[in-house]
Amino acid sequence: MIITSEIISLKHLLTAESLSDQEVMGLIQRAQEFKQGAPSTLSQEQYFVSNLFFENSTRTHKSFEVAEKKLGIDVIEFDTKTSSVSKGESLYDTVLTMSAIGAHACVIRHWEEDYYNELIDSKTITTSIINGGDGSGNHPTQCLLDLLTIYEEYGDFENLDIAICGDLSHSRVANSNMKMLKRLGANLYFCGPTEWYNKKYEAYGTYLPIDDVVNQVDVMMMLRVQHERHDEDSIFVKEDYHKAYGLTVARAKEMKEGAIIMHPAPVNRDVELADELVESYQSRITQQMSNGVFMRMAILEAILHGKA
Ligand code: CP
CB 264 near ligand 1, within 6 Å: yes
- Whole-number Å distance between alpha carbons of 143 and 4: 20
- Ligand 1: residue of 138, 142, 288, 290 to mutate (most ligand atoms within 8 A of CB) is 142
- Between the CA of 45 and the centroid of ligand 1 the distance, in Å, is 30
Per-residue pLDDT of 86-95, as tens digits, reads: 999 999 999 9
- Whole-number Å distance between alpha carbons of 140 and 122: 22
- Whole-number Å distance between alpha carbons of 211 and 81: 45
Do the Cβ atoms of 53 and 63 come closer than 8 Å? Answer: no
pLDDT given at position 229: 80
User: Does the pLDDT value for residue 74 go beyond 90?
Assistant: yes
Per-residue pLDDT of 238-290, as tens digits, reads: 889 999 999 999 999 999 999 999 999 999 999 999 999 999 999 999 999 99
User: Does the pLDDT value for residue 25 go beyond 70?
Assistant: yes
* Cα 29-31-32 angle, rounded to 5 deg: 65
Pick the residue whose CA is nearest to atom 1 on ligand 1.
264
CB 297 near ligand 1, within 6 Å: no
CB 57 near ligand 1, within 6 Å: yes
State residue 50 phi and psi, 5-degree precision.
Answer: -120, 135
pTM: 0.96
Per-residue pLDDT of 144-202, as tens digits, reads: 999 999 999 999 999 999 999 999 999 999 999 999 999 999 999 999 999 999 999 99
Per-residue pLDDT of 32-53, as tens digits, reads: 999 999 999 998 899 999 999 9
- Ligand 1: residue of 59, 138, 285 to mutate (most ligand atoms within 8 A of CB) is 59
State residue 85 phi and psi, 5-degree precision.
Answer: -55, -35
pLDDT more than 70, % of the chain? 96
Per-residue pLDDT of 108-150, as tens digits, reads: 999 999 999 999 999 999 999 999 999 999 999 999 999 999 9
Give CA torsion, residues 35, 38, 42, 46, to 10 deg: 80
Averaged pLDDT of the chain: 95
CB 140 near ligand 1, within 6 Å: no
For residues 80-105, one letter each, b for 16 or more C-beta atoms within 10 angstroms of the residue's C-beta and e for the rest, the string is eeeeebeeeeebeebbbbbbeeebbb
pLDDT given at position 4: 56
